[in-house]
Amino acid sequence: MQDLSEEISACAPCESVKHVYISQVGKVGLTGVKMRYRCPFCYYTISVDDMSRGYPVVCAGCGKTVQIPPGKFDPGCIIGDFVILNRIGAGSIGTVYKATQLSLDRQVALKILSPEYTTSKGIDDFLREARAAAKLSHTNLVQALAVGEEDGICYLAMTYVNGENLKTRLRREGRIPVDEALHIAQQVAEALYYAWDEAGLIHRDVKPDNIMTTDDGIVKLTDLGLAMNQSEWREGMEISGSPSYMSP
């Protein structure tokens, strides 16, 4: 492979020093690979450094010019074994994206830990709780599928739920019929009981945003980002949760 200065010189006609030819995964730029992107034409994995974000490159797989997105979590970007499709929403400690798991070719919900929580303690807590959640398997809980860290980015892959959360529905309809509300509450309670009975987990963030209903009417409790094991509770510990839904 040519060094970067030769590549830039060769691409002078395009009048952009950022228009470089990616000829081998993991060997580009002055500072090393910082981002991977899936070519929309041939699905080749393009690896670039931070200097190339937001600029066109030539895909080594098909030879076509591809616009690299400016953000690391924009559609087409690859984190671990997952290629991001679109943003779904935000949770208590991170942002959730719809993604495709490349190795198994299945859709998942991919939660990325927010930068403010990527301290040593924050990462340890995130990975520990995610692994604990992965041991749970219940109809009314969103199943954790994989957890990992890549270049300081922590992620949790969960079952993708084709439906909507209660917050969205309440905004649209204003209220839910009593019988249906009781049915939803019962399913949430069953999920909470299972998490407690099976693993001693306390959710700590039950709210409409984290309660989803599938197209089949099944209730799914999501976002275990603030969950903790009962054995780790100590008197005087910092309390976590959403103020509007916490006990006084």
Q: Cα torsion at 107, 219, 89, 95 (round to 10°)? A: -70
Tell me, rounded to whole angstroms, the distance of Cα 174 from its chain centroid. 29
Tell me, rounded to whole angstroms, the distance of Cα 25 from its chain centroid. 23
Residues 6+ apart with CB under 8 A from 7: 20, 21
The rounded distance, in Å, linking the Cα atoms of 130 and 152 is 16
Q: By C-alpha distance, which of 47, 114, 57 is closest to 77?
A: 47
CB of 192 within 8 A of CB of 234? Answer: no
CB of 210 within 8 A of CB of 226? Answer: no
Q: By C-alpha distance, which of 40, 72, 73 is closest to 57?
A: 40
The rounded distance, in Å, linking the Cα atoms of 237 and 248 is 16
**Which position among 3, 179, 215, 216 bears the catalytic label?**
215
Residue 215 is among the residues annotated as catalytic for this protein: yes
The rounded distance, in Å, linking the Cα atoms of 59 and 63 is 5
> Active-site residue numbers?
215
